[in-house]
Every structure is written in structure tokens, then in C-alpha cells.
Amino acid sequence: MVSSLKELISEPGLGSADDPEERFITSGISWQDYEALLVKLEDSSHYRVTYLDGILEIVSPSIRHENIKTNLGMLLERFFYSKRIRFVPMGSSTFKNKARKAGAEPDECYCIVQAKSVPDLAIEVTVTSGNISKLEVYRRLGVPEVWFWERYQFKLYHLRDNSQAEQTTVYPDTYGYEQITASELLPQLDISLLEQCLSISDSIQAVDEFEQGINKD
């Protein structure tokens, strides 16, 4: 636990050249200090900040992480355009709910059809594991669907129980989310095709194969 916000911000573990992806977690952080940190970092897109019940996690993403995130966004937007799905890209915007003591900055997120205060879809690229349950954060924020990209595959979750109770009665092991095999928001999207193309290092080849796949029918 750090003794002050100033100490937290200047923590030397963040952004170390020895490891391009750093993760810093501390507890006992007030909502006021969390908001002050967001202000401090508002001109920097380098960090992702997550908050849950006084626990704060700051991630300095690696180049590999950012490469996957960028390619994922590129492929998804190709899909939206191809299928004529109206969408609002929200990137790594900050979403927070003081009453529910939760805040997050997804790697990518989207509203479908029209802009909303909370995204319909949040996506997390997981390179190193964290200690905060992102599903619980997103449940409290009311995000309908969450995707995790980890070890070259997706895990998809759709919100079923958004009750105010800390322990949800439905799907308690996944914080009110049900793990699904296909997106309910984007039922036309072939997740296995997206996984396959994300694993291609050449971005032009990845786009070509993805577009061939989504337009083959």
C-alpha cells in the first residue's frame, strides 16, 4: 500500500525498460485519489487504469499488447463496414461509477448503432495477468458484453445478472456474466476466423484473409 497519491504516481516499477509491460497494483486508494490520478494521466494514453473497491491497478502495455489491440480494432472495423453495422468506436476511454466503486479503461470498446454512456462491447487484451476481476468491474459499469484475448484465443462473456448485490445469484463464478461461444451483439461474426487472422503477423495478409472469410457467403 502506498502512503500518498504522489508516491503512487511516481512508483518506479511503471514503464521500466527491463520489461516493456509493467503492472502495478495497490490497495486502500480512495475514490478521490483515483479521480486525481486520472486527471494526472489524462494527457497520457500509455497507461490503463482500473479501480475496484479501493484496489487500483495501473498497466503500462507492451508493444506486443498494443500491436494486438490495434490489429483487433482494425479487423473489427472492417467487419462493421462490410456488414453495414453502425458503430461508435470509443477506444480506451475511461468509464467509472462512483456509487458502485468501479472504473475501467478497456483496450478497445464500441457502442453498436449509436453512442451510449457505457459501451456495448469492451475488449481486454491479456498479456500478463492482473489481480482485479475485470468482469466484476464491467458488471458494475453495466457493460453487456466483454471479450478477453488471451493465449491466441477469445473468451466471450455476456451479462445476465446486473443486480446491485456484490455477490450475484446467477453465474456467481463469472460475476453475473455467462461465458458464450459466439457474440450475441455481433452474431454474424465468426470468432474463430477473427482468432486465426489475429495470429497472422503480416497485417496486410491478416486483413486480406479476414475480408475473404467474412465475404465468402
Digit-by-digit pLDDT tens for the chain (217 residues) are 444 444 555 544 444 444 467 889 999 999 999 999 999 998 777 899 999 999 999 999 998 899 999 999 999 999 999 999 999 999 999 999 999 999 999 999 999 999 999 999 999 998 776 668 999 999 999 999 999 999 889 999 999 987 766 556 667 778 999 999 999 999 999 999 999 999 999 999 999 999 999 988 6
Q: What fold does the segment set 63-214 form as a domain? A: tt1808, chain A (3.90.1570)
Q: Cβ(28)–Cβ(54) under 8 Å?
A: yes
Q: Which of left, alpha, beta for 102 (phi over 0: left; psi -120 to 50: alpha)?
A: beta
**What cell was used for 187?**
452474431
In a 13 Å sphere around the CA of 86, the CA atoms on its Cβ side amount to 4
d(CA 19, CA 61): 10
Query: In the chain, where are the structural domains located?
Result: 5-60, 63-214
In this prediction, residue 162 carries a pLDDT of 78
**What cell was used for 151?**
493465449
Query: What are the beta bridge partners of residue 154?
Result: 149
pTM over 0.85: yes
d(CA 103, CA 118): 11
